[in-house]
Chains A and B, each alone.
Chain A
């Protein structure tokens, strides 16, 4: 149960079907590394309709609360449901894609 309902206008619409959200904290080296890696990963997915948002937990704690983010960096596959999450070192593209079951979605 989460107390906070997402009120962010950028909240992915269900019809988009394919949405990723990356959570980081501030501009730490780890955050920058994660952002770079996931932007690169996203470039390869964009034409398949995947959206990507980057959220700084310190600026938008209400989103982190709603998505129950307990560690960063965290990449969340918000849509399609069910939600999938990968946290930690996001530099290995294959493991991230596997962890979020993105290829399964593409194939499905």
Chain B
């Protein structure tokens, strides 16, 4: 189950610059820490984030172990057409967590 907080406007004027913010609940375990009995805790991070607007990629990022838990990304885009803004976070576990939000451009 994806636990994410998405903040993007519901409506925008054509040509307007909108800010999109996305935060995913994730421990971002670095792989450098040790747990009980000094055993290394295996690395488990989100390593790739992609945001698409109606299927077209508008922003992506590679993430690394130094990024804190619950990675938070904020970026801007120019509103061109109504549709779906989709978010995908891919982790070391190979799983992709997704979320999406609708926007109406007038």
Asked whether A and B interact, the reply is no
